[in-house]
Amino acid sequence: MNRLAEAASPYLLQHRDNPVDWWEWSPEAFAEARLSNRPVLLSIGYAACHWCHVMAHESFENPATAAVMNELFVNIKVDREERPDIDHVYMSALHSLGEQGGWPLTMFLTPEGDPFWGGTYFPPEPRHGRPSFTGILRQLATIWQAEPQRIAGNAEAIRAALKQMETTAPAEAGVPDLDQLAGRIAAAFDPVDGGLRGAPKFPNAGLIELTWRRGTQDPAASASLTAATLTLQRMARGGIRDHLGGGFARYAVDEHWLVPHFEKMLYDNAQLLGLYALEAGRSGDPLAWEAAEGIVAWLEREMLLPEGAFAASLDADSEGVEGKYYLWTEQEIVALLGPTEAALFARHYDVRSGGNWEGANILNRLDTPDPDATEAARLGRSKARLLAERANRMAPARDDKILADWNGLAIAALARAAGLLDRPHWLALAKDAYRFVAESMADGEGLAHSCRTRRLIRPGFALDHAAMIDAALALHDASFDPHYLSDARRWSQHLWRHYRDPDSGLIGMTRLESAGLPVAPRPSHDDAVPNALGVHAANLVRIARKTGSDKDRARAEELMKTALAAAARAPMAHGSVLNACDLARNGVEIVLAGPKREALHAAARRLPYTLVTLVDGEAGEALPADHPAAAMLRQAGEGAAFICFEGRCLPPVTDPNRLAAAIAAGV
């Protein structure tokens, strides 16, 4: 009996009509495995995953294959976005076997949940050196019955490896040389196309941010800035960006950013919005402006839900074909635009008669000329016509669950980009999404992880809280509304109490009392999303500066020490930690005071949030008596900004136009 019909996850619902006797992850599923003495087949994927759809069509929809699965295994289906903790543990188990990870993740477990073997995609017939799925099923079932000691040995070895990965406390480490690390990262970037060398190419937002930070703060670090800006430019020109509808695909399968893996994820676009807004604000580069505005246009047009929050992702496939929604032939474009406008469009967006990828065209500007003002206007009209025509196609499916962590990333990016680029509407979008998550996804003093059709998956994970704290702090910067700071402090207390391991000091993915997995997942490294450890280290720095509280300051220092120790083993996997460290060491506080400080507030919000923490000098507890600016507040007059760093403050600035120059002079 397939038990997925009542699932909340769109990914699980995609499998509700399979002839497989699927279970959701539950104690009842493992009880069935123990009762029937069958191993567990755990299949993990997500709604936008192309190869998940392929394996589903080839195997899970096949009655003969399903019959083998049902006879020999208890089959559990998991949405990795709904349960990232399960995904992390069993993906780590696969890595311990020396295998590369990916989705679909196919793991085989004992009835106690211990993994003993696994892989990713398996074809229905032997292909390209991969065994057939049914062949694997029969072989493992035979070993389960005939060689239980072999299964037990494998399971014990994997469990030991997992415990070693997840329970090792970080060693002591000093403060890293951020300029040296940024230089190393820049040297590892492709000097022609940006991003880490080779294929596939992922955005790696944390590393781009670190090189951008150090390159903009230190004139001697020009190579770091070049690496960051080149990467942003090449991505914005590449096929990984949707040049008609805005937004970016998850990654490029080639080394030039041309061919995307066409799924679009909220978390990628949230992180990239922040980066492109920073670069557009710094340089005024039209390409960066287009990329930032395109992301928000896509969010509002295709991802905004009636609740005010944002959906999780768009599928890679439509009509069963990866990327079909986004591809064009030359003939289609000529028929729609006419020969003259089509020729102009083809020249600037790399449209070829035979296509630039598998007989079709991926729109891109990688090696095409920049248009002049007149051409840009014509191209804008052509893009609008193509976008309208594309809307008539069958669109990729949307995973419309609301994830607190991914929405938190998007809210923070929107709130900060609104100030950087003077887009008040973006701030309104951020406030609406925040309101839904904070109110409708509340779970006691904390937050739930996922919401769909008003059904909550709870409790939330560490990143749900860390990302929403960051969102609250970004909205407090934008409005100085005290309830945002109150939320941030309350969730921070909850995170510290329920997710921080007192032995290692690390922040675990799950609550301390959570059970049901072979190990408690406590990774410190970034994946496609930043790790809660790095995000919250930066949060605590900002909270301490906003409140001046000794307790907040002590926690910020304690978590930063733990985070840097964890990052020391693999700095390039800990971009969020390094960025938090840069904020702590090189960040600037701007204390705003006086009844007419609004213009100064707007000017301060145009400064890079990677550098600045805003403090409301009129908010009482936000500026304690021992703050270095406290004694100067009487000089605020009608309105002034006090720029403070490392325990010292500069004379007050009253002219909003001088704020950025005053910071640069004082660094």
Q: Could you read off the pLDDT of 353-369 as tens digits, one per residue?
A: 999 999 999 999 999 99
pLDDT digits (tens, 9 = 90+) for 517-526: 999 999 999 9
pLDDT digits (tens, 9 = 90+) for 125-163: 998 778 999 999 999 999 999 999 999 999 999 999 998
Q: What is the pLDDT of residue 435?
A: 98
pLDDT digits (tens, 9 = 90+) for 373-432: 999 999 999 999 999 999 999 999 999 999 999 999 999 999 999 999 999 999 999 999
Q: Are strands 612-616 and 588-593 parallel, antiparallel or unpaired?
A: parallel
Q: What is the CA angle 278-282-287, rounded to 5?
A: 75
Residue 204 is classified by DSSP as: -
Residues recorded for the chain? 667
Is residue 622 pLDDT above 60, yes or no? no
Cβ(48)–Cβ(260) below 8 Å: no
Q: How far apart are CA 409 and CA 299, in angstroms?
A: 13
Q: How far apart are CA 293 and CA 272, in angstroms?
A: 11
Q: What is the pLDDT of residue 590?
A: 93
- Whether the CA torsion 288, 259, 329, 395 is positive or negative: it is negative
Cβ(72)–Cβ(135) below 8 Å: no
Q: How many CB atoms lie within 10 A of CB 452?
A: 21
Residue of 518, 587, 531 whose CA lies nearest to 562: 531
pLDDT digits (tens, 9 = 90+) for 42-68: 999 999 998 999 999 999 999 999 999
Is residue 174 pLDDT above 90, yes or no? no
**Residues contacting 556, CB < 8 A, separation 6+:** 537, 540, 541, 543, 544, 584
What mean pLDDT is reported for the chain?
94
> Alpha carbon of 39 to those of 25, 29, 91, 462: distances in Å?
14, 11, 18, 31
The angle, 0 to 180 degrees and rounded to 10, between the axes of the packed helices 133-146 and 63-72 is 20
The residue with tokens 């996922």 is 450
Q: What is the pLDDT of residue 343?
A: 98
Least confident of 120-124, 592-596, 652-656: 592-596
Least confident of 69-73, 203-207, 217-221: 217-221
Q: Tell me the two tokens of residue 59.
A: 């195997």
Q: Tell me the two tokens of residue 153.
A: 């040995």
Q: How far apart are CA 298 and CA 292, in angstroms?
A: 10
Q: What is the pLDDT of residue 594?
A: 87
Which H or E run includes 106? strand 105-109
The angle, 0 to 180 degrees and rounded to 10, between the axes of the packed helices 339-349 and 330-337 is 130
Q: How far apart are CA 116 and CA 152, in angstroms?
A: 8
Is residue 535 pLDDT above 90, yes or no? yes
Q: Are strands 321-322 and 317-318 parallel, antiparallel or unpaired?
A: antiparallel
Q: What is the pLDDT of residue 628?
A: 65
Residue of 4, 169, 174, 147 whose CA lies nearest to 75: 4
φ, ψ of residue 316 to 5 degrees: the values are: -75, -25
* pLDDT confidence band for 645 (50 / 70 / 90): confident
Cβ(480)–Cβ(471) below 8 Å: no
Least confident of 115-129, 236-250, 267-281, 452-466: 115-129
* pLDDT confidence band for 168 (50 / 70 / 90): low
Q: With the CA atoms of 458, 575, 534 and 11 taken in that order, what torsion angle do they form, in degrees rounded to the nearest 10?
A: 0
Average confidence (pLDDT) over 261-266: 96
Q: Tell me the two tokens of residue 421.
A: 């680029």
pLDDT digits (tens, 9 = 90+) for 453-469: 989 999 999 999 999 99
Q: How many CB atoms lie within 10 A of CB 227?
A: 27
* Segments in 218-338 forming alpha helices (H): 222-237, 266-283, 286-298, 330-337
Q: With the CA atoms of 134, 139, 144 and 146 taken in that order, what torsion angle do they form, in degrees rounded to the nearest 10?
A: 140
Cβ(451)–Cβ(401) below 8 Å: yes
Burial class for 553, CB neighbours closer than 10 Å (0-12, 13-18, 19+): middle
Q: Tell me the two tokens of residue 108.
A: 């085989």
* pLDDT confidence band for 550 (50 / 70 / 90): confident
Q: Tell me the two tokens of residue 444.
A: 């006691």
- Whether the CA torsion 520, 92, 120, 249 is positive or negative: it is positive
Q: How far apart are CA 310 and CA 437, in angstroms?
A: 10
Q: How far apart are CA 249 and CA 459, in angstroms?
A: 30
- Whether the CA torsion 535, 537, 541, 547 is positive or negative: it is positive
Cβ(343)–Cβ(426) below 8 Å: no
Q: What is the pLDDT of residue 167?
A: 60
For a pLDDT cut of 90, what percent of the chain falls above it? 86
Helix (H, G, I), strand (E, B) or coil at 218: coil
* pLDDT confidence band for 626 (50 / 70 / 90): low
β-partners of residue 653 are 641
Average confidence (pLDDT) over 203-215: 97
452 versus 627: the higher-pLDDT residue is: 452
Q: What is the CA angle 163-461-412, rounded to 5?
A: 130
Average confidence (pLDDT) over 315-331: 94
Q: How far apart are CA 586 and CA 221, in angstroms?
A: 15
* Segments in 285-392 forming alpha helices (H): 286-298, 330-337, 339-349, 373-390
Q: What is the pLDDT of residue 631?
A: 65
Q: Are strands 74-79 and 40-45 parallel, antiparallel or unpaired?
A: parallel
Is residue 200 pLDDT above 90, yes or no? yes
The residue with tokens 């590369």 is 100
pLDDT digits (tens, 9 = 90+) for 276-288: 999 999 999 999 9
* pLDDT confidence band for 217 (50 / 70 / 90): very high
Is residue 493 pLDDT above 70, yes or no? yes
Average confidence (pLDDT) over 340-344: 98
Q: How far apart are CA 356 and CA 256, in angstroms?
A: 13
Burial class for 339, CB neighbours closer than 10 Å (0-12, 13-18, 19+): exposed
Which H or E run includes 588? strand 588-593
